């Protein structure tokens, strides 16, 4: 079953206390795909300029990433430059240059339009709706957004929410969208606007899966070394959607396991700059961390211990 | 097996966006005992002035709280006044009046000295060490501390750490104590100073249990309404220690379940002002929330779902 991601394919320059990158592979669609492809093949829809290091993308193709839906147009690729605080808890955007992304209009080949699992990365909700209009029979549509769209295109975003199955945002976005600082009320507020599932990412504190009448918390993997948080949320989404595409299921039990795969991919993502946290990684490595992860959240039954 | 807590018995005045209290029951030993006594009887060692509403303490005695170790001396009881931000994420201390607590010197009756489970609430580490010297054969000694002692009595605190089995602090305290912002490295730093277990409380994000070579994360119970965070950490400690005292065990498997009971008590604590979150609560209510809690962290096995 086809897994589709629509999002940015960017060049990131990131400064952290532990090092820096310049014009490195980045963007939501890239982070998503590198993670998801460890579990299931991915098709990417996006746009790059004629300055993009295409060879670096193609080097990733054998993992199971199909870049054929990435338009190559004249002009400069999307660039983002950011700097993290000493404890990686906050970041400052130093520069955003939209370049060819400013006029991006997603084009879906028939195979992409037939996708069963669709992730609408953080782009203009007008474009997200546009993609959604052209996907013919999805089993699961998930989307991300950010404060910028919440503020500038709230009406379109609310229309989009009515049509997606799952919203995946971070805690500050959930709070801003709902206008409620209590994260559980914020989640319920979102559920009442359309999605059947809400995933709220909380960085080093893990992530919440909120569904009508129940919720689930997944911690972050305990890491003593974190190098670059950029893209961790998209890697989480990639693990989450990649797992569901592989399982060919939107069963609620699978969603909880999808959270484990999401958190696992997030943990690999932050362990290296740009997409280096995934370098040399195999599906077996992923499964091993998933097992460790499940062990570290396991609560022994009372029968066994009292 | 006797469970002993040494800590403050105070009168708290708390302002939150949802209401306020004036001279209400508070202090680490009170919050601890009210929670712990739902699981196991508790002996309290502390001090109060002649202005303390003793009848309110005695009203709690039938729960299984033995206040006979609380000295009643001439003078004013310990008072704390604080105000929370609109989202309860931060608080400001408006006033601290030590009163009779300034000259507190714990006295242990033989039954208290024979305690098997000992919680040294957040008081001067000199006094914590003094109590420890007089406890004859404990199975488990846990202690709390705060930034004030980390800054002003670091040497004594480090001596204390060498002699306790478990340190239970919040994340900012763990960071300040270790000088490391990464919470997992901070935990390991503490483990290398003596304790075999470290519990790091993270408020609405739950709590971590860090042990040599492994760790465990317990989320906070999802609450849409939080009224007063005061004492939640001590209620957590009460649930944690009360469970272990009831289980008569310091087995590592029991520690994970103790985390569930701790988090459960924390969730009741924040649901009402002062100790009102525990009013009318039975052990059956606690066990029911524990079951719900375990359910909401449960990850279905792959076998069941793929």
Show the domains of chain B with their CATH numbers.
3-294 (3.40.1190.20)
CB contact under 8 A, B296 and A215: yes
What does pTM read for this prediction?
A: 0.94
Average pLDDT over residues B175-190: 96
Q: Is A215 on the interface with B (CB under 8 A)?
A: yes
Chain A residue with the nearest C-alpha to that of B226: A182
- Nearest Cβ partner for B294 among A206, A296, A299: A299
Q: What is the ipTM of this complex?
A: 0.91
Q: Is B85 on the interface with A (CB under 8 A)?
A: no
Q: Residue A192 pLDDT > 60, yes or no?
A: yes
Chain B residue with the nearest C-alpha to that of A244: B306
Q: Any idea of the CA torsion for B187, B190, B195, B198, to the nearest 10 degrees? A: -20
Question: Which residues in chain B have their CB less than 8 angstroms from residue A259's CB?
Answer: 299
Q: Residue B306 pLDDT > 50, yes or no?
A: no
Q: Residue A76 pLDDT > 80, yes or no?
A: yes
- Nearest Cβ partner for A296 among B217, B222, B260: B217
Q: Is B50 on the interface with A (CB under 8 A)?
A: no
| Spatial contact of B43 and B1, defined as CB atoms under 8 Å apart | no
Q: Is A224 on the interface with B (CB under 8 A)?
A: yes
Chain A residue with the nearest C-alpha to that of B294: A299
What local confidence, expressed as pLDDT, does residue B106 receive? Answer: 95
If one counts every other C-beta atom within 10 angstroms of the C-beta of residue B193, the result is: 17
| Spatial contact of A47 and A101, defined as CB atoms under 8 Å apart | yes
- Helix B28-36 / helix B232-247 crossing angle, nearest 10 deg: 40
What local confidence, expressed as pLDDT, does residue A305 receive? Answer: 45
What local confidence, expressed as pLDDT, does residue B296 receive? Answer: 87
| Spatial contact of A153 and A126, defined as CB atoms under 8 Å apart | yes
Task: Tell me the C-alpha distance between B289 and B284, whole Å.
Answer: 9
Task: Tell me the C-alpha distance between B263 and B240, whole Å.
Answer: 8
CB contact under 8 A, A253 and B305: yes
DSSP helix/strand/coil, A270? coil
pLDDT in tens, B37-61: 999 999 999 999 999 999 999 999 9
pLDDT in tens, B273-296: 999 999 999 999 999 999 999 988
CB contact under 8 A, A87 and B181: yes
| Spatial contact of B84 and B62, defined as CB atoms under 8 Å apart | no
Chain B residue with the nearest C-alpha to that of A185: B224
Give me A156's structure tokens: 């379109």
Nearest CA of chain B to the CA of A248: how many Å?
9
Cross-strand pairs, B48:
B72
SS in 3 state form for A176-225? HHHCCCCHHHHHHHHHCCCCCEEEEECHHHCEEEEECCEEEEECCCCCCC
Task: Tell me the C-alpha distance between B195 and B52, whole Å.
Answer: 35
Mutation site for A-interface testing, chosen from B184, B198, B225, B240 by largest number of A Cβ within 10 Å: B184
pLDDT in tens, B100-146: 999 999 999 999 999 999 999 999 999 999 999 999 999 999 999 99
Q: Is B224 on the interface with A (CB under 8 A)?
A: yes
- Nearest Cβ partner for B215 among A185, A253, A296: A296
| Spatial contact of A145 and A201, defined as CB atoms under 8 Å apart | no
């Amino acid at each position: 079953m086809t897994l589709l991601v629509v999002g940015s394919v960017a060049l990131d320059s990131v400064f952290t206390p532990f090092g820096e990158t310049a014009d490195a592979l980045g963007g939501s669609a890239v982070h998503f795909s590198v993670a998801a492809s460890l579990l299931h093949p991915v098709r990417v829809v996006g746009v790059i300029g004629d300055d993009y290091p295409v060879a670096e993308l193609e080097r990733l193709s054998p993992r199971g990433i199909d870049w054929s839906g990435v338009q190559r147009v004249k002009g400069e690729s999307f660039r983002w430059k950011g700097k993290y605080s000493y404890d990686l808890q906050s970041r400052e955007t130093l520069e955003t240059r939209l370049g060819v992304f400013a006029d991006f209009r997603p084009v879906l080949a028939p195979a992409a339009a037939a996708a069963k699992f669709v992730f609408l990365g953080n782009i203009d909700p007008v474009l997200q709706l546009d993609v959604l209009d052209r996907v013919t029979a999805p089993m699961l549509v998930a989307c991300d957004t950010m404060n910028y769209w919440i503020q500038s295109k709230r009406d379109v975003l609310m229309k989009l929410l009515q049509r997606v199955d799952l919203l995946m945002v971070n805690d500050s976005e959930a709070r801003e969208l709902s206008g409620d600082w209590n994260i559980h009320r914020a989640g319920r507020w979102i559920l009442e606007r359309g999605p059947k599932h809400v995933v709220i990412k909380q960085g080093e504190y893990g992530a919440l899966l909120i569904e009508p009448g129940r919720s689930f918390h997944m911690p972050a993997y305990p890491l003593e070394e974190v190098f670059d948080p950029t893209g961790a949320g998209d890697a989480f989404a990639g693990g989450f959607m990649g797992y569901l595409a592989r399982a060919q299921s939107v069963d609620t039990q699978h969603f909880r396991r999808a959270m484990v795969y999401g958190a696992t991919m997030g943990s690999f993502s932050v362990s290296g700059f740009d997409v280096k946290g995934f370098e040399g990684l195999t599906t077996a490595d992923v499964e091993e961390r998933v097992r460790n992860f499940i062990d570290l959240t396991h609560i022994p039954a009372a029968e066994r211990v009292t």
